[in-house]
Amino acid sequence: MGLPSLKPCLLLIFLFLLNVSTINSKPSKVEPVLFGGNFQALYVIGDSLVDSGNNNNLNTSVKANFAPYGSDFEGGKPTGRFSNGKTIADYIAIYYGLPLAPAYMGLSEEQKNNISTGINYASASCGIFPDTGTQLGKCLSLSAQVDLFEKTIDNNLKKKFKTNSELTKHLAGSLFMTAIGVNDYAFYFKETTDPNEFAKKLLHDFLKQIKRLHELGARKFFINNLKPLGCYPNYIVANTVPRGSCSKYLNKAVAKYNVKLRKSLTHLKKTFSEASFLYSDYFNFMLGLRGPSTNQVSSNLMNSISPCCPSVYDGDKRTSCTPRSSSCKVPDTHIFFDPFHPTELANFMYSIGCFQQRKVCQVV
C-alpha cells in the first residue's frame, strides 16, 4: 500500500488534504448501486468495531464511555465508540451522506419513532454465537441485534411509514452493514480447534441471520469479513516470537472463515437475485497497514505493535484502556487506539481504501 510507506508527518499532511469531504464526493459516472447508491438509511449490525454506544446502557464491564476514548470525536467527548474518534460505520454513513447512526439502546421511544435514517445495534464483546462475550456481562449477540431490528420495524417504522409499500421501499432502499464474528474466535477458538468445522458452524449461524434480514425486507448488504486477530496487540505483544510478529495459526483460522464467507455471498446473490452485496476485505486492509509482511515484525512507521492506550502496555490479554490509563499524546501515530481497536486515522484510511481506491470493497 502507498499510504503507510510515507513518513508520519507527510502521511498526516496527506490525510489532512484528503479530508472527510473527499470521502463524500462520489464520482459523477454511473456507479454500481453499492458505491453510488442513494440510500435512505444505514442500519449497523456488529461488535465493538462499530458500536456507537449501545454498551453504555448494558450491564457489562466492556464500555468505552470514558476518556481517553472519544478525544478526537466531535466535541472531544467519549460516546461509547471504542476509538479516539469515528468508526468505519461512521465513515460509511458520511460517504453516503447520512447522519451517523445512533445507538439503539440510547434512544427514547419517541426518538425511535422519528428516526428513518438508520440505527446502530452493534454491541461490544458480542458475536455470532449467542453466548459469546457474556462472560464479561450483558451484550447483544447477532440474533439479538436482528431481533431489535425486527422490533424497530414493528414498533417504530410501521408508525413512520403509513403503508406497507412505503415501508417496503424504505427497507429495500436502506443499507445493512455487518461487522461481527471475530469475538467468537477470541473467546472460543483454541489451537486444538478444527478451523474448518469452526468456520463452517460460525458461517452457518451468520447466514441464518442474513437470511432473516432479507425476509424482513433488507436488500442491500455491506458485509465486512473478520480482522486478522492474530496481528492485534493483545496477541502479538506477549504471545508471539519474535515479539511483534503475528499469530500465524490464528490468522489462518480466521482467513478460512473469510474465504467461506466470500464464496457464500456469491451463492446468496444467485439465490436472492434482487439483493446486492458489497464485500469488505477488512482482514487484508489491516494486514496492509502493518507493511509488506504478514507474519513478521511490521516495517510500518506507524506503531503497529503497541496501542495508544494504555501507553505502557504489558501485553496481557486482560489489559485494556481504562479511566486510569495513560494514553499517547498523538493517536495518529498508532494503528491501534487500545489493544483491540483501531484509531480514527486507521478507520479513515479504511474508508479511502474502500470508497476511493476501491481496493478494500468489491461488489459481489
Give the CATH number, domain containing residue 233.
3.40.50.1110
What confidence score (pLDDT) does residue 120 get? Answer: 98
Among 125, 281, 320, 341, which one carries the catalytic annotation? Answer: 341
What confidence score (pLDDT) does residue 28 get? Answer: 42
In a domain, 136, yes or no: yes
Q: Do 157 and 40 contact (CB within 8 A), yes or no?
A: no
In a domain, 93, yes or no: yes
What confidence score (pLDDT) does residue 152 get? Answer: 98
**Strand extents, DSSP E, the chain:** 42-46, 175-179, 220-224, 276-280, 336-338, 341-342, 361-363
What confidence score (pLDDT) does residue 24 get? Answer: 53
pTM over 0.85: yes
What confidence score (pLDDT) does residue 307 get? Answer: 94
What confidence score (pLDDT) does residue 50 get? Answer: 98
**Per-residue burial over 90-118, b = 16 or more CB atoms within 10 Å of its CB, e = otherwise:** bbbbbbbebebbbbbbebeeeebbebebb
Here the cell at position 165 is 409499500
Q: What is the C-alpha separation between 358 and 280, in angstroms, rounded?
A: 10
Overall domain count for the chain = 1
In a domain, 76, yes or no: yes
The SS3 of residue 176 is: strand
Q: Is 238 exposed, middle or buried (0-12, 13-18, 19+ CB in 10 A)?
A: middle
Reference 293, options 224, 231, 358; nearest CA is: 231
What confidence score (pLDDT) does residue 32 get? Answer: 61
In a domain, 25, yes or no: no
What confidence score (pLDDT) does residue 23 get? Answer: 54
Q: What is the C-alpha separation between 360 and 355, in angstroms, rounded?
A: 8
- Distances in Å between the alpha carbon of 88 and those of 218, 220, 317, 345, 354? 21, 18, 24, 10, 10
Q: Which residues pair with 317 in a beta bridge?
A: none
What confidence score (pLDDT) does residue 318 get? Answer: 74
Q: Tell me which residue range forms the domain holding 356.
A: 3-10+31-363
What's CA 330's distance to the chain center, in Å? Answer: 23
What confidence score (pLDDT) does residue 234 get? Answer: 80
In a domain, 21, yes or no: no
Residue 154's CB is within 10 A of a number of other CB atoms, namely: 11
In a domain, 17, yes or no: no
Q: Do 297 and 244 contact (CB within 8 A), yes or no?
A: yes
What confidence score (pLDDT) does residue 313 get? Answer: 80
Among 47, 48, 304, 332, which one carries the catalytic annotation? Answer: 48
CA angle 75, 80, 81 (to 5 degrees): 80
What confidence score (pLDDT) does residue 123 get? Answer: 98
Q: Is 17 exposed, middle or buried (0-12, 13-18, 19+ CB in 10 A)?
A: exposed
Give the CB-side neighbour count of residue 174, counting CA atoms within 13 A.
26
Active site residue 341: yes
Residue 208's CB is within 10 A of a number of other CB atoms, namely: 13
Reference 100, options 75, 84, 120; nearest CA is: 120
Here the cell at position 1 is 500500500
What confidence score (pLDDT) does residue 228 get? Answer: 96
Helices (H) and strands (E) in the chain, counts: 14, 7
What confidence score (pLDDT) does residue 19 get? Answer: 46
Residue 292's CB is within 10 A of a number of other CB atoms, namely: 13
Reference 300, options 220, 236, 226; nearest CA is: 236
Residue 252's CB is within 10 A of a number of other CB atoms, namely: 13
Q: Do 310 and 51 contact (CB within 8 A), yes or no?
A: no
What confidence score (pLDDT) does residue 207 get? Answer: 98
What confidence score (pLDDT) does residue 5 get? Answer: 35
In a domain, 172, yes or no: yes
What confidence score (pLDDT) does residue 29 get? Answer: 52
In a domain, 16, yes or no: no
What confidence score (pLDDT) does residue 6 get? Answer: 38
What confidence score (pLDDT) does residue 187 get? Answer: 96
- pLDDT, averaged per 10 consecutive residues of the chain (364 residues), comes to 36 44 49 77 98 98 97 95 98 96 98 98 98 97 98 97 96 98 96 97 98 98 96 73 78 98 97 95 94 50 87 78 94 94 97 94 94
Q: Do 80 and 56 contact (CB within 8 A), yes or no?
A: yes
The SS3 of residue 307 is: coil
Among 90, 281, 332, 338, which one carries the catalytic annotation? Answer: 338
Helical pair 195-216 and 248-271, crossing angle rounded to 10 deg: 40
What confidence score (pLDDT) does residue 158 get? Answer: 97
Q: Is the dihedral of CA 7, 11, 87, 41 positive or negative?
A: negative
Q: What are phi and psi of 280, to 5 degrees?
A: -105, 120
